[in-house]
Amino acid sequence: MLLGLGHRAVAQSGSALRSGRRGRRFESCQLDFEKCLSRAIRLLPRERRTDVRPVRHLRDTLLLPPLLSTLATSYLNLTTKLPVMSGHNKWSKIKFTKAAADAKKGKIFARYSHEITLAAKSGGGDVDTNPRLRAAIEGAKAVSMPKDNIDRAVKKGTGELQGATIQEVTYEGYGPAGTAIIVEVATDNTNRCSSEIRTIFSRNGGNMGTPGSVAYQFDRKGEVRIVDETLNEDSATELALDCGADDVETGENDGEWVFTCGPTDLQTVQEALSAAGKNVTGIKLISVAQNTTEITDVETAQKVMKLYDLLDDYDDTMNVFTNFEIPDEILEQLS
Q: What is the pLDDT of residues 122-141, one digit of tens each?
A: 888 888 888 888 888 888 88
Phi, psi of 251 (to 5 degrees): -95, -170
% of the chain at pLDDT higher than 90: 38
Per-residue pLDDT, 78: 44
- Residues 164 and 188 sit within 8 Å (Cβ to Cβ): yes
The rounded distance, in Å, linking the Cα atoms of 285 and 78 is 44
Q: How does pLDDT run across 188-241, given as a tens digit for each residue?
A: 899 999 999 999 999 999 999 999 999 999 999 999 999 999 999 999 999 999
Whole-Å CA distances, 91 to 82, 86, 88: 16, 9, 5
Pinpoint the alpha helices (H) of 83-146. 87-123, 131-142
Residue 166 has pLDDT above 80, yes or no: yes
Q: Give CATH superfamily name and number for 167-216+292-321.
A: YebC, transcriptional regulation domain (3.30.70.980)
Distance CA 122, CA 141 (A): 21
Residues of CATH 1.10.10.200 domain(s) within the chain? 104-158
Give the mean pLDDT of the chain.
76
pLDDT at res. 212: 92
Q: What is the mean pLDDT of residues 153-180?
A: 88
Per-residue pLDDT reduced to its tens digit, 230-272: 999 999 999 999 999 999 999 888 889 999 999 889 889 988 9
**C-alpha radius of gyration, the chain, whole number:** 21
Is residue 26 scored above 60 in pLDDT? no
Q: Could you say which architecture CATH assigns to the domain 218-289? A: 2-Layer Sandwich (3.30)
**CATH 3.30.70.980 domain position(s) in the chain:** 167-216+292-321, 218-289
Choosing among 1.10.630.10, 1.20.20.10, 3.40.120.10, 1.10.10.200, the CATH entry for 104-158 is 1.10.10.200
pLDDT at residue 182 above 90?
A: yes
Q: What angle do CA 233, 234, 236 make, to 5 degrees?
A: 65
pLDDT of 8 above 90: no
- Who contacts 153 (Cβ-Cβ below 8 Å, separation ≥6)? 112, 113, 114, 116, 117, 120
Higher confidence at residue 162 or residue 183?
183
Q: Is the pLDDT reported for residue 66 higher than 70?
A: no
Helix (H) or strand (E) holding 224: strand 218-227
Global pTM reads 0.63
